[in-house]
Structure 1
Amino acid sequence: MYSPTKKCHAESATKDQSGPHRRIDCACTMSEIFAQATLEKLLGKRRFTTELLSGGVSCDTAKVTWPPDGGAVVKRALAQLRVPGRWEADVDRILAEADAIELFSRITPMNVPAMLARNDQELAIAIELAAADMQDWRFSMLSGTVEPEVGYTLGGILAQWHTKTREMSATELPQRIINGKKRLYDLRAGAFYGGMAQTWPEYGSLIHELSDELMQSRECIVHGDFSPKNILHGPSGTWVLDFEVTHQGAPVFDLAYMSAHLNLKAIALHSQRDLVSQTLANFLNAYQHHGGMIPKNLPMHAGVITAVRVAGISQVNYLDEAGKASALSRSRQLLEGASVLIP
């Protein structure tokens, strides 16, 4: 039996999530309710109850539970992303996410959810529910709780992913990840960098150069969406989520993505600016401590990402007009070579 409930709640469901850090996003619209047949192919014949979740712009996502105490998060990719403009991407990116979870779980098994099931024909996956005390790190920060030690944890995780996969042969890496440049272009290099090169033509040459680096590099496996919204953190541990853009590429992108988002948080969180600054410093220090190297053009990449989150196709919703102006100014500083560390 299938019992759907159309609720729009936390992007990353926990076993019993509640409280001020729970994501409420009732603007989400699901393309369709998950079919009983899809759930049965993933999880077997059970009495399912589903709670539709806000899966961001790229996925249909549901918290699925069944008696007596079973549960999972089920995800299925969208062809047209949930943004005002036209933004399409191949739906097989959900299979790349499954491949990435399986890969990274071999490196840092405590920092990714377990893969419970995948069905490549249905383009759907089921992953482990997080513990109730693990909260969306973005919303924890925006509600005033900034823990700089989380930055150190994340820097260590990312360094291990980059250094370990740099050492792996092509036969040890999933082919979907190796061949992930189209996803990178559709979701990042084209949409973000290409879009900003048109919006800011005065930086067009530099931005195209940075985009070319992303498309040409095959240095290691890159997460592609390493930002606070994809982190769950709490007493039970720290998880990284959402691996749809994972590809073989340039490690600078992951560093820049987190750096850009923390720069934006510092603008939004006036009273916690110093704590956010320390969080970013901890992140970069831990990355180096665990064997990673900081590329010289990190600020420029961070500048592009900061700009696109304010003036591009994928804009944050937590900055007022003054904050947006500050963020655009900061973007230009970074593109012109300023330190990525928060002043």
Structure 2
Amino acid sequence: MKNSASSRPNSHSPMRMAADELALIMVRCELMEEGEPFEISSVEGGVSSNVWYIRTRSGRDMIAKRPLARLNVEQEWLADQRRSNFECMFLRDVRACVPENVASVLAHDVESHTLFIEYFPTQAFFNWREEILAGRTHEEAGAGIGATLAKIHHYFAQNSDARERYDARDILQGTRIDPYFDAITKRHPKLSKKIDKLRSQTLKADSVVIHGDVSPKNILVAPNRQILLDAECACIGDPAFDPSFLLAQLLLKTLVVIEREKEIMAACQGFITSYFDGVIWEDKHSLEQRAIEYLGLFLLARIDGKVPVPYIRDDNIKALAREFGTNLLNLKDKKISDVLGSWSMMINEQYANLESFRISNT
């Protein structure tokens, strides 16, 4: 839906109210002149923020986003809106190491928690989640985002002054600890000891700044380029968190787009190889072992946590992912490549008849 700010639709409509407020903020941030007409439309698909596409009369395109205090999910999920401050800071900081892989910040209005960032045209940049679910895997994006993530982690590992500005553990409690760690502990009390260890590890770690939401839905893909979006969860933390978060999402999608399982797994392997090639700030083996534990947690969380993936509905398929994730929490001294191989083996054994197990992603 697009409404011109000068067309005066119903003055009480949500879009009208958003347009009026954003107009004042954009003038205050010197993004447009007072009274300048503009087009605005909602960008759908997210649960954590209100997002709008804006085009001013002068032809300037931008994205405006404002984090929600209560996320749009079935269970109650509260999160501090100050997370927009950390997203803005993260996007500005990492342009020092990956300028082609993040959006530039146009303005940030702290008072309203509104962030204005660069717009990437949908004709050239595609959402990786939607592309995968449509059967277009862009497997080369795995290696690209792996290299990008390693550069980001290395940048912060070498910059202690920058890291100190991201002590947002109170926000991380709401955005990640409660909906992932604590929710799974309640659902699977027998795993509480393992998960409590990971929880403590996550809240104590401070060797890098993590993005906190590296997921296909937050990655735009284009030929030879990937854009990492939505850094609302940026915080000092354990670098093993980020690669595991993405791997969990990619693995679960092989349960949906079964005919593209090999390509998705190739993207996973490319991602892991590229990421660990760039790990030079700590022992790779130690990071890899922690990553496997996080992967187990995140597989469970996306089945039984506060935000289960919407495209897996079959209880038998949920049970497969649940069992695999539980096993990873108890795995010792393995390589992620072995884990990926085991996942592929499980898929091939369980999906001998692809059509009979196909899951709708509508």
Q: Which TM-score tier does this pair reach, normalised by the shorter chain?
A: 0.7 to 0.9
Following the alignment from structure 1 to structure 2, what is the Cα–Cα distance between the partners of residues 248 and 312? 23
Shift of 1:33: 2.2
| 2:33 paired with 1:33 | no
Shift of 1:329: 2.4
Partner residue in 1 for 2:355? none
Partner residue in 2 for 1:248? 236
| 2:154 paired with 1:163 | yes
Structure 1, unpaired ranges of 5+: 7-28
| 2:308 paired with 1:318 | no
- Matched-pair identity in %: 24
Partner residue in 2 for 1:152? 143
Which of 288, 313, 329 is equivalent to 1:295? 288
Q: Quick one: structure 1 residues 148 and 246, their matched pair in 2 at CA, closer, same or farther if it must change by over 3 Å?
A: same
| 2:124 paired with 1:133 | yes
Greater CA drift, 293-302 or 193-202? 293-302
Partner residue in 2 for 1:111? 101
Q: Quick one: structure 1 residues 31 and 206, their matched pair in 2 at CA, closer, same or farther if it must change by over 3 Å?
A: farther
- The answer as to whether partners of 1:267 and 1:327 remain within 8 angstroms in 2 is no
Following the alignment from structure 1 to structure 2, what is the Cα–Cα distance between the partners of residues 332 and 257? 16
Q: Deviations over 1:267-306 (max 9, x none)?
A: 2221111111111111110012123534312222111111
- Higher Cα Rg: structure 1 or 2? 2
Following the alignment from structure 1 to structure 2, what is the Cα–Cα distance between the partners of residues 65 and 186? 33
Partner residue in 1 for 2:351? none
Greater CA drift, 325-334 or 45-54? 325-334
- The answer as to whether partners of 1:181 and 1:247 remain within 8 angstroms in 2 is yes
Q: Deviations over 1:37-77 (max 9, x none)?
A: 12322323231211011261111110011124211000111
Which of 101, 118, 134 is equivalent to 2:91? 101
- TM-score when scaled to structure 1? 0.87
Greater CA drift, 244-253 or 306-315? 306-315
- The answer as to whether partners of 1:5 and 1:52 remain within 8 angstroms in 2 is no
Following the alignment from structure 1 to structure 2, what is the Cα–Cα distance between the partners of residues 146 and 186? 32
Following the alignment from structure 1 to structure 2, what is the Cα–Cα distance between the partners of residues 249 and 141? 29
Give the number of equivalent residue pairs: 318
Structure 2, unpaired ranges of 5+: 345-362
Following the alignment from structure 1 to structure 2, what is the Cα–Cα distance between the partners of residues 93 and 3? 32
Q: Quick one: structure 1 residues 287 and 119, their matched pair in 2 at CA, closer, same or farther if it must change by over 3 Å?
A: same
Q: What is the letter of the counterpart of residue 39 of structure 1?
A: M
Following the alignment from structure 1 to structure 2, what is the Cα–Cα distance between the partners of residues 279 and 5? 47
Q: Deviations over 1:84-108 (max 9, x none)?
A: 2221111111111100100111110
Following the alignment from structure 1 to structure 2, what is the Cα–Cα distance between the partners of residues 139 and 4? 33
Q: Secondary structure, in 3 states, of the residue corresponding to 2:100?
A: helix
Q: Quick one: structure 1 residues 335 and 124, their matched pair in 2 at CA, closer, same or farther if it must change by over 3 Å?
A: same
Q: What is the letter of the counterpart of residue 18 of structure 2?
A: I
Following the alignment from structure 1 to structure 2, what is the Cα–Cα distance between the partners of residues 333 and 86? 29
Q: Deviations over 1:106-164 (max 9, x none)?
A: 11000001111111122111101113311000010010011221110011001111111
Q: Secondary structure, in 3 states, of the residue corresponding to 1:106?
A: coil
Shift of 1:236: 6.9
Q: What is the letter of the counterpart of residue 125 of structure 1?
A: L
Partner residue in 1 for 2:178? 190
Following the alignment from structure 2 to structure 1, what is the Cα–Cα distance between the partners of residues 50 and 203? 28
- TM-score when scaled to structure 2? 0.83
- The answer as to whether partners of 1:95 and 1:124 remain within 8 angstroms in 2 is no
Q: Quick one: structure 1 residues 331 and 106, their matched pair in 2 at CA, closer, same or farther if it must change by over 3 Å?
A: same
Q: Deviations over 1:165-216 (max 9, x none)?
A: 101022x4472x2x21112111112221011011001111101100110000
Following the alignment from structure 1 to structure 2, what is the Cα–Cα distance between the partners of residues 140 and 91? 30
Greater CA drift, 181-190 or 33-42? 33-42
CA RMSD of aligned residues (A): 2.2
- The answer as to whether partners of 1:92 and 1:123 remain within 8 angstroms in 2 is yes
| 2:200 paired with 1:206 | no
Following the alignment from structure 2 to structure 1, what is the Cα–Cα distance between the partners of residues 265 and 322? 18
Where do residues 27-66 of structure 1 align in structure 2 (5 Å cutoff)? 33-34=18-19, 35=21, 36-42=23-29, 43-45=31-33, 46-54=36-44, 56-66=46-56
Shift of 1:3: 5.1
| 2:270 paired with 1:282 | yes
- The answer as to whether partners of 2:8 and 2:16 remain within 8 angstroms in 1 is no
Shift of 1:235: 2.6
- The answer as to whether partners of 2:163 and 2:208 remain within 8 angstroms in 1 is no
| 2:294 paired with 1:304 | no
